[in-house]
Amino acid sequence: DAGITQSPRHKVTETGTPVTLRCHQTENHRYMYWYRQDPGHGLRLIHYSYGVKDTDKGEVSDGYSVSRSKTEDFLLTLESATSSQTSVYFCAISEGPGIGTEAFFGQGTRLTVV
Amino acid sequence: AQSVTQLGSHVSVSEGALVLLRCNYSSSVPPYLFWYVQYPNQGLQLLLKYTSAATLVKGINDFEAEFKKSETSFHLTKPSAHMSDAAEYFCAAQGGSEKLVFGKGMKLTVNP
């Protein structure tokens, strides 16, 4: 299994509070992604990173920010959590697009905003 | 931009029956294509991928998928369903330097 660890695995937080989710990899892959999974929507890309300090927005980036100060860590921050951000969040890593290599996924973080 | 369509959200088959999960992509350039499986409370695992080497791709657990450029399709099949195949299946596409884009997923139920 690819070495991807997401923390925490479960979190309940209150509306308006900041929340940070962490993704840690031991594969030295260049690309890291954050997705959210919601019923009827599949997986939607929030942000991704193609290198240290190099990040870009996905299709549902509003209300989220990311940082990548080291190759192995990719942080997702909900600056002021809302109930619409209740979801399961998945981190993924890959060697990079254009190469046809697959993405490897973490186990997910279930976030509930109350 | 790349998009992936999986029509419907749920399919039910009997154990031993053929499994067919449909996937269509939209792109003027044939992309890289993937099928992932997600078991309950787990992350996604790769079943198989198409990278232009062969149009019929074999994956794990007897799954296979055929790339048809003329139909912009990459349907997933398995000749005989097993109870352990019950899961959610996602088709995904990646074109050139673009991001990986997922379909909405298809939940497979296998009835005894």
Taking the Cβ of residue B24 and every Cβ of chain A, the question of whether any pair is shorter than 8 Å is answered with no
Over range A44-64, report the average pLDDT.
94
| A58:B43 CB<8 A | no
Number of CB pairs, chain A paired with chain B, less than 8 A apart: 58
- Alpha carbon distance B80, B21 (integer Å): 13
Q: Which of B94, B101, B104 sits opposite A41 (nearest CB)?
A: B104
Q: B33-42 pLDDT, tens per residue?
A: 999 999 988 8
Nearest to B43, CA basis, from A61, A5, A59: A5
pLDDT of residue A97: 63
Task: Specify which residues A113 forms β-bridges with.
Answer: A13
Over range B10-30, report the average pLDDT.
90
The whole-chain average pLDDT of chain B stands at 90
Q: How far is A22 from chain B (nearest CA, A)?
A: 15
Over range B23-42, report the average pLDDT.
86
Q: B56-103 pLDDT, tens per residue?
A: 999 999 999 999 988 999 999 999 999 999 999 999 988 765 678 889
| Structural tokens at position A1 | 């299994």
Q: A73-105 pLDDT, tens per residue?
A: 999 999 999 999 999 999 999 887 656 678 899
pLDDT of A36 strictly over 80: yes
Three-state secondary-structure class, residue A100: coil
Q: B51-68 pLDDT, tens per residue?
A: 877 889 999 999 999 999
Q: Please give the residue of chain A at the shortest CA–CA distance from B39.
A: A107
| B100:A98 CB<8 A | no
pLDDT of residue B26: 86
Tell me the longest C-alpha to C-alpha distance in chain B: 44
Taking the Cβ of residue B69 and every Cβ of chain A, the question of whether any pair is shorter than 8 Å is answered with no
pLDDT of residue B30: 66
